[in-house]
Amino acid sequence: MARIDVIQKESIEVNQGQEITKICPFGAIEFKDGKLNINSGCKMCKICTKQKPEYFKFVENEVKKEIDKSFWNGVIVYVEHTYGDIHPVTFELLGKARALADKIGHEVLALFSGYNITKAANELLHYGADKVFVYDYKELEDFRIEPYAAVFEDFISKQKPSVVLVGGTTIGRSLAPRVAARFKTGLTADCTSLEISENTDLSQIRPAFGGNIMAHIKTPNRRPQFATVRYKIFSALDRMDEVKGEIIQCYIEKDSFQSSITVLSHKEKPKVKYIEDADVLVVAGRGVQKEEDLAMIQELADKLGGMVASTRPLIEAGWTDPKLQIGLSGRTVKPKLIITCGVSGSVQFRAGMQNSDVIIAINTDPKVPIFDIANYSVIGDIYDIVPKLIKKLNHAQIDEAVATQAL
């Protein structure tokens, strides 16, 4: 990548330095403590190199050194868990890792770190892992970022994987960038799709520029290639009865477990049902005109035994709780049935629900994007259609009650 370098052999007087900074019309030249610097505001106009060639030099695009990609092998999945209870996103990532690894002829590896986890590690072999690398230490019983990052770094240094997949959870989002930075490699967060080439370059796909495009991000000259993926984006493989993989116990110097964090105690959060766990969702969109009208959406959800979800405009209006938002800035869901009411279907929203089993979309505009992915598209006003749906469900429940009583 082309750049402008500062040529400076000795300190510059204050007056002189301040005059030099005025050369740049974009304010990209900085002067501090007798030294010049080029900041991110540089537009490569080269004015500075022409007026002050003794201080600034334009450097042409440098040829990037290609790495030996054959030296990096394997698709690894970081196993997220809570005291041995494996998070479901891990099994989803193993399913995707299996597909990626089969295409390039690599193995699927799982990194499992914690305490008393060897028994739980066997379960991973039933979901596509070829090898499970276990770091089982008392010091890893509680999640602390420094020891877990050290274990992650140790594993990558020894195994040299080509691709690293991490769940886009609170823990995954804190851990993945720390480890990626240690290897000076790229990391793409919240991917909605992953593809891989025969040369092992991973195409990490996610919405960009406000959802106007789907960016295909690659890291061709660095390894490993890091990506985080949210829960409910991919599907887990069916559990296999027979397994051929193996559990490998790993060892690391205990000095690596040093941390500035001490866990005094922990307690479980009260179990709450989130929209990610619902089999049926009814989504309120911008088509809902008044906050009171959400009662209609709630009634439909209740009749179907489901939950109400929401889009961002209703969150911003203060009508619904942020925990109910679907989309990249909210939550990712994959219910058996989802009914969208007055939802246009932005890229961010669709990325958060497009893997639902059955999608029914209701909207007055036949050109809205949500209809592109809907299994059933209903063109009409939700204030006309939703009450009719509720009425039909009421009749169905009455008929069922009569039949049950007759029996």
How confident is the model at residue 63, as a pLDDT?
63
How confident is the model at residue 210, as a pLDDT?
66
What's 118's domain CATH number? 3.40.50.620
What's 289's domain CATH number? 3.40.50.1220
**Percent of the chain at pLDDT exceeding 70:** 95
201: in domain: yes
41: in domain: yes
266: in domain: no
How confident is the model at residue 401, as a pLDDT?
53
Closest CA to 162 of 71, 228, 230, 91: 71
132: in domain: yes
Residues 120 and 251 in one domain: yes
Residues 290 and 193 in one domain: no
Residues 252 and 123 in one domain: yes
- The more confident residue out of 321 and 33 is 321
**Percent of the chain at pLDDT exceeding 90:** 58
- pLDDT tens digits, residue range 208-218? 776 677 889 99
DSSP 346-376: -HHHHHTTTT-SEEEEEES-TT-GGGGT-SE
264: in domain: no
pLDDT band at residue 40, thresholds of 50, 70 and 90?
A: confident
Residues 320 and 351 in one domain: yes
What's 11's domain CATH number? 3.30.70.20
Tell the residue number behind the tokens 């509680």, with chain if given.
142
Residues 225 and 331 in one domain: no
Residues 128 and 164 in one domain: yes
How confident is the model at residue 261, as a pLDDT?
84
How confident is the model at residue 257, as a pLDDT?
86
Contacts of residue 79, Cβ cutoff 8 Å, sequence gap at least 6: 86, 90, 110, 111, 112, 113, 121, 124, 132
- pLDDT tens digits, residue range 143-196? 999 999 999 999 999 999 999 999 999 999 999 999 999 999 989 998 989 999
- pLDDT tens digits, residue range 326-370? 988 888 899 999 999 999 988 889 888 888 999 999 999 999 999
270: in domain: no
Residues 54 and 81 in one domain: no
| Range among 56-65, 93-102, 230-239 rated most confident | 93-102
66: in domain: no
Residues 43 and 138 in one domain: no
Span 25-42, average pLDDT: 89
Residues 52 and 200 in one domain: no
Whether pLDDT at 406 is above 60:
no
Tell the residue number behind the tokens 């099994």, with chain if given.
91
How confident is the model at residue 3, as a pLDDT?
85
Closest CA to 333 of 257, 292, 274: 274
Tell the residue number behind the tokens 């974009």, with chain if given.
26
pLDDT band at residue 92, thresholds of 50, 70 and 90?
A: very high
- Per DSSP, the three-state class of 252 is coil
How confident is the model at residue 227, as a pLDDT?
95
User: What is the dihedral sign for C-alpha 65, 96, 85, 246?
Assistant: negative
Residues 364 and 309 in one domain: yes
How confident is the model at residue 403, as a pLDDT?
47
Span 47-72, average pLDDT: 84
Give the total number of structural domains in the chain.
3
The residue from 13, 35, 59 where one domain ends is: 59
Boundaries of domain holding 39: 3-59
Residues 38 and 85 in one domain: no
268: in domain: no
What pTM, to 2 d.p., does this model score? 0.75
Residues 101 and 248 in one domain: yes
- pLDDT tens digits, residue range 291-316? 999 999 999 999 999 999 999 999 99
Question: How far apart, in whole angstroms, are the C-alpha atoms of residue 259 and residue 145?
Answer: 8
